[in-house]
Amino acid sequence: MKWYIAPRVFLAPALVLVLVAIGGRFTLDRAGFTDLAWVDLRVIGLLAALAVLVVDLRRRPRPAAVSEPARRREGWLVAAILFFVYQIASGLWAPEAARVGSQTLDLVLMAALTVAVYLYATGDPVRVVRTTFVLFYAAGVVFALAALLVNGPGEQGRYSAFGGGPNVFVRIQILGVISAIALYLTYRRLWLLLAVPLFLLAAVLSGSRAGLLAGLVVAGAALLKLRHRLRAGPVVVAGLGLTAVAVAVAAFAPPAITGLFQERFVEQTVQQRYLSDRTDIWASAWRLAADHPLAGAGLDGYYGLIGVNQHVEYPHNYLLGVAAEGGLAGLALLVTAIVLWAATVRRGGAHPRLTGLAVASAVFVALSSLFSGDYYDARLAWLFAAMAAAAAVVPSPDREAVGGMPREGTA
């Protein structure tokens, strides 16, 4: 039995796709060109990435040249595409005040980004996933330094960078932590972990309680899974190092930083139990879902019926948003995609470590999306989910011919 050995993929698609994913919504009016506000750089960037990706796909050997190509479990991707299509189609019964046009563009771009990342990653999942972690590591450093040294605290004292909100900023920082761990496990260079305190400091300064909670949940799950492999020495050293950094920050940080921590995490969260009106927003989304149980209120129906009057853009919960605007039909498609994806990545395939790290990244963003952000803000979850699936279904070139089992030490 012969196995398909994928060629090395182009680097250009990774650079453009990750840049588009990190950049978010960016039109030229944000750069000062008000007359060109209609130019959406996401569209230009994605079209450029797709053009290079087509060339990359064309240069790969055809599966027909392989005697017994591996069967890939891609039902999750079919379900995800059907889910995106259904969301777009729900614009047909959306209320008049709904922003169907902009929301449709967001969903089209996110669907195209998901498919493009998956197709790209199947060419060489090892290189693609590692390159992506390198890019997110670099992005984490750039965003953290920009927030601390250039942008500074916003009106609420919370830090962010490049015009994005704190809830998006914290995701970049926690993904930077995961990327640092991934790169250390790959290259075994301790200096790669030196940026972790910077990422954690920036994440705390974002003031995003939901993002930090999601990061703690993923970290706790990872430690629980790896508890038998951890050695006491490195764990103690890491704990002491982070404690020393925390003490140094508390002792020498300027009042703006210590004040943010005191107000945001101690006074608002612990003493006042302030949740940024999330419970009221979620309750209204739940009522909307109950009023439109089968097909939902339509794309952006929450804003069209509730948010337009209360000045709330979206439900701040991905699942509640789907339930309110897509009904049971939308939820069924989303749950189907998630279940099929989980079954695909469950055992890690031929690249268990890379699959696991990509899964951790996807789950972190998904958990964060239960507290903040709209549909398009969940794009990084779909991006890492696509890479995790690709790493799980593409066989390793180091497998032996007999039964496709990996050689000892290659898994």
State yes or no: pLDDT of 366 exceeds 70: yes
Q: What is the mean pLDDT of residues 128-134?
A: 95
pLDDT of residue 400: 35
Distances (CA, A) of 271 to 155, 257, 261, 275: 22, 19, 13, 12
State yes or no: pLDDT of 405 exceeds 50: no
Q: What is the C-alpha to C-alpha distance for residues 107 and 327, in angstroms, rounded to an integer?
A: 17
Tens of pLDDT, residues 103-122: 999 999 999 999 999 999 99
The residue with tokens 């950094």 is 245
- The number of beta carbons lying within 10 Å of the beta carbon of residue 349 is 24
Higher-confidence residue of 237 and 379: namely 379
Q: What is the mean pLDDT of residues 402-411?
A: 38
State yes or no: pLDDT of 29 exceeds 70: no
Can you read off the two tokens belonging to residue 81?
A: 């595409």
Q: What is the mean pLDDT of residues 349-360?
A: 90
CB 385 within 8 A of CB 356: no
Tens of pLDDT, residues 175-200: 999 999 999 999 988 899 999 999 99
- The number of beta carbons lying within 10 Å of the beta carbon of residue 295 is 17
Write the burial class of residue 252 (CB in 10 Å: 0-12 exposed, 13-18 middle, 19+ buried): exposed
pLDDT of residue 260: 60
- The number of beta carbons lying within 10 Å of the beta carbon of residue 75 is 15
Higher-confidence residue of 263 and 272: namely 263
| Residue 179: closest CA among 157, 159, 198 | 198
Higher-confidence residue of 385 and 248: namely 385
pLDDT of residue 250: 59
pLDDT of residue 34: 66
pLDDT of residue 408: 36
Higher-confidence residue of 246 and 336: namely 336
CB 143 within 8 A of CB 161: yes
Instruction: Indicate the pTM of the whole model.
Output: 0.86
pLDDT of residue 15: 86
The share of the chain scoring above pLDDT 70, in percent, equals 77
Sequence ranges of the domains in the chain: 12-60+75-393
The share of the chain scoring above pLDDT 90, in percent, equals 49
Q: What is the C-alpha to C-alpha distance for residues 3 and 55, in angstroms, rounded to an integer?
A: 23
- Of 20-29, 118-127, 298-307, the range with the lowest mean pLDDT is 20-29
> What does the mean pLDDT of the chain come to?
83
Q: What is the C-alpha to C-alpha distance for residues 72 and 254, in angstroms, rounded to an integer?
A: 54
Q: Residue 62: which pLDDT band, with cuts at 50, 70 and 90?
A: low
pLDDT of residue 404: 39
pLDDT of residue 146: 94
pLDDT of residue 114: 96
State yes or no: pLDDT of 144 exceeds 90: yes
State yes or no: pLDDT of 319 exceeds 60: yes
Out of 84-93, 274-283, 391-400, give the one with best mean pLDDT. 84-93
Q: Residue 91: which pLDDT band, with cuts at 50, 70 and 90?
A: very high
State yes or no: pLDDT of 297 exceeds 90: yes
CB 300 within 8 A of CB 103: yes
The three-state secondary structure class of 189 is: coil
